[in-house]
Chain A
Amino acid sequence: MSEIYMPRLSDTMEEGVISSWVKNVGDKVASGDVLVEIETDKAVMEYEAYEDGYLVQQSVSEGDTVPIGAVIGHIGETPDAVPEESSSGGAAAPTEEKTAESGTAGQEAPARPQGGGEQAPPQPAPSKPDGSGDSAGTRPRSSPLARRLAREYGLDIESISGSGPKGRIVRADIEAAAKQRPTEPEAAPAQAAAAPQAAADRQAFDDGRDSTELQVSNVRKVIARRLTQSKQEAPHFYLRRTIDAEGLKDFRAQINAQLESTGSKISFNDLIVKACATTLRAHPEVNRSWVDEKLLQHGRINVGVAVAVEAGLIVPVLHDTDKLALSEIGERSRELAGRAREGKLKPQEMSGGTFSVSNLGMYGMDSFSAVINPPEAAILAVGAMKQQPVVRDGEVVVRNTISLELSVDHRAVDGAVGAAFLKDLAEVLENPMRIVV
């Protein structure tokens, strides 16, 4: 009999919702079968069984929320196996005792009587494990601190090699592994939950407004937390520039004519995303993050594209945007946006961004000021393409224009640096051949 725990499926996840049970009680389960769909703060994800057996209990009902580590179900060797009483039923997080390795610590750590003639007293026999799972015995040696940090960093402890006695994984190993990961400062150890304050704030909600408290999705909680953090911590400044979009329009028409036989198409936004990546490559000083009093220079250019879905705002990330062909950007953006709408993005498809683009042109917005997506240093807000009277060669003519507004984190990027970037970006977009060459 083994317990299934609520897994940590993203760096920022603190609790998860049982979206739906794929296996019913009594079903035969093979390792690798999808057991349950879990809604995290970012997405709905499938969670697989790690061993063969039968699902003998669903400890948490569909729609219920439990913290990471809580028992959500049991897999037994027979369909009618009965879960042990000790397993703290339902939503309780495992206690510290249950995660203890009761067997090994005592043996490794003979406390030594000093000097003297007598031998070290024989160590007491290790107390027997209390039967709470973990019978495989293949788990790597690791200190409790290392296991906790691995959970907080979202690292798989089995993938880390230990440098302590007998290969024990210690804090230093976890921290080294965390540093080696692609830069994701947002994956720093879990932020303290803001729950207690929320209870106090809630009292104010229903006085004379006929208010009803709505269910808050995890996506909404993340939006609230991250964007509050952004506005509170990142001193925003804003740079505006209107570009002549005639060239961009022609360029897109040419490309789409070429692509016609393939059935795919690129959008203005794809061109703008690619132009941002190209310009970021020439301006690495904008591809930075200010995190914990440190200035990080990102080696990769990963542009996030804001997508409005029913649950809220999601920003899938196009990793290595500067290296993707325009057609790839188009296809990949649409594929990610589609899965974002279904809530099926993987956490790694939403993290690691170094710059974001938000486009509200389809709503006819002239321009707007976007909130920076931390820990990125800047976000580009793109308005609608509009015909405007402009002066060219001393004459008023009608041209298609797009208004761009760049929000910049002044801790990481100064005004002149941001302005130089936006100036180059505008010139690239006005001479769109530069997007690709």
Chain B
Amino acid sequence: MSVITYRQALRDTLRAEMLRDENVLLLGEEIGLFEGSYKITEGLLTEFGENRVRDTPISEEGFVGASVGAAMLGLRPVVELMTINFSLIAVDQIINHAAKVYGMFGGQTSVPMVIRTPGGGGQQLGATHSQNIELFYSFIPGLKVLAPSSPADAAAMLRAAVRDDDPVMLLENLGLYNSKGEVPDGDESVAEIGRAAVTREGADITLIGYSRMAAVGLQVAERLAEQDISVEVVDLRSLRPLDRQTVVDSVRKTGCAVIAEDDWLTYGIGAEIAASIQEGAFDYLDAPVRRVAMAEVPLPYAKPLETAALPSAESITTAVKETLSAVGKRVG
């Protein structure tokens, strides 16, 4: 067992998948000579050469489209979009081509491609470079959207994404790249796409998150345990397909839930989860489901404002305590 960063887990897994399968190739802006804006592709150009690691022009629609074509012809392209914000330029290729080709052409060809891309605010990158718009893609049948919250999951999900025959968006997070966690040595485990995980068991309340919010949720649960509050944490892991059952089972056990999401509240992922809870666990709910999300504003650049607009361990803790208080568990 080694303790490595989320960044290292992604880099090691990309390399291992390229060694395993010569059809795997990488495309993206500045991933070769510059070794990636976030150094996920460090050393890979030198090792694999420019046929397998392609620096592309600054033209997301072009190289995402090229990747769709390559995938249709049997290669397994792994595209890096420097941030999810730039996926907007490629959105037609992603939604109208990658997601549709298999179904529209009667299954003649699948599209085994991966789009890796980080989201997340908190880096003072301004409103256009700090968004979490994974919801756009989670909405689209034909795509799979994964959102790992730990180094071990980042590795297992990237492996699953590369080996899956459908287009997969792997949502990374700028706030997680330097986070550390245990990854089994020589781990070859492949995550099951569409499966959430109870990352911490608890009895009093269910706290649901994904990506950075799942990691923050674990910290909140640990701190609240010291105050004798038993929080069960559910990491969604896969936003499409969505594992409603794990969420519902947990809420049926605890009777109340808080959802934390790094996106905007209105129409957000949390809204979908809350709806799923009332459908699957209505008779088990002892309090209304609470959502903790970003302020409904373009994310400010100024650090204090940016911090204030993002959900935090403190805001999640408050929502958890208020919910517990509403069901008669008096908390400090």
Contact = CB atoms under 8 A, between A and B. Distances in A.
Interface string B193-229: 0000000000000000000000000000000000000
A105 to B, nearest CB: 5
Interface string A165-176: 100101111000
A96 B309 contact: no
Given A111-B265, A168-B326, A173-B328, A118 B296 contact: yes
Nearest to B284: A145
B319 to A, nearest CB: 8
A96 B327 CA distance: 21
B294 A171 contact: no
A144 B296 contact: no
A258 interface: no
B288 interface: yes
A116 interface: yes
Contact of B288 (A99, A108, A172): A108
B328 A172 contact: yes
A111 B319 CA distance: 9
A55 B264 CA distance: 51
Contacts of B282: 96, 99-100, 144
A148 B284 CA distance: 8
Interface string B304-316: 0101111110010
Interface string A31-46: 0000000000000000
B290 A114 contact: no
B287 A118 contact: no
B245 interface: no
A415 interface: no
B295 interface: yes
A435 interface: no
B120 to A, nearest CB: 16
A118 B297 contact: yes
Interface string A104-133: 011011011111111001000000000000
B310 A114 contact: yes
Interface string B264-304: 11100010000000110011111111111111110000000
Contacts of A147: 283
Interface residues of B, number: 36
A112 B289 CA distance: 12
Task: Choose among A105, A114, A165, A170 the residue with the greatest number of B CB atoms under 10 Å from its CB.
Answer: A114
A63 interface: no
B283 A96 contact: yes
Interface in A79-116: 96, 99-100, 105-106, 108-109, 111-116
A111 B309 contact: no
Contacts of B296: 113, 116, 118, 121
A114 B328 contact: no
Contacts of B307: 115
Task: Choose among B266, B295, B311 the residue with the greatest number of A CB atoms under 10 Å from its CB.
Answer: B295
Contacts of B284: 144-145, 148
B255 interface: yes
B275 to A, nearest CB: 12
A164 interface: yes
B289 A109 contact: yes
A112 B292 contact: yes
Contacts of B309: 114-116
Nearest to B260: A114
Given A114-B310, A115-B309, A164-B328, A170 B287 contact: yes
A163 interface: yes
A114 B312 contact: yes
A171 B308 CA distance: 35
A106 B289 CA distance: 10
Nearest to A114: B315
A146 interface: yes
B327 A171 contact: yes
Contact of A144 (B264, B265, B283): B283
Contact of A146 (B270, B286, B329): B286
Given A114-B294, A145-B283, A171 B255 contact: yes
A111 B311 contact: no
A58 interface: no
B295 A116 contact: yes
Contacts of B270: 111
A395 B299 CA distance: 106
Contacts of B310: 114-115
Interface in A266-294: none
B326 A165 contact: yes
Nearest to B292: A114
Given A114-B311, A115-B309, A165-B326, A170 B286 contact: yes
Contacts of B329: 172
B265 A170 contact: no
B293 A170 contact: no
Nearest to A174: B286
A371 B282 CA distance: 41
Given A121-B266, A121-B296, A111 B290 contact: yes
A163 to B, nearest CB: 5
A115 B312 CA distance: 10
A100 B288 CA distance: 12
A143 B295 contact: no
Contacts of A112: 290, 292, 315, 319
Contacts of A143: 255, 285-287, 327
Given A113-B296, A121-B265, A171-B255, A145 B290 contact: no
Contacts of A170: 286-287, 326-328
26 contacts: A96-B283, A99-B283, A112-B315, A112-B319, A113-B265, A113-B293, A113-B294, A114-B293, A114-B295, A114-B312, A115-B295, A115-B310, A115-B315, A118-B296, A144-B284, A145-B286, A147-B283, A163-B328, A164-B326, A164-B328, A165-B326, A170-B326, A171-B286, A171-B327, A172-B328, A173-B328
Interface of B: 255, 264-266, 270, 278-279, 282-297, 305, 307-312, 315, 319, 326-329
Given A116-B296, A148-B283, A148-B284, 9 more contacts: A108-B288, A109-B290, A111-B292, A112-B315, A116-B309, A144-B284, A145-B255, A164-B287, A172-B327
9 nearest A-B residue pairs (beta carbon): A116-B295, A109-B288, A172-B328, A115-B308, A111-B291, A145-B286, A114-B315, A148-B283, A143-B286
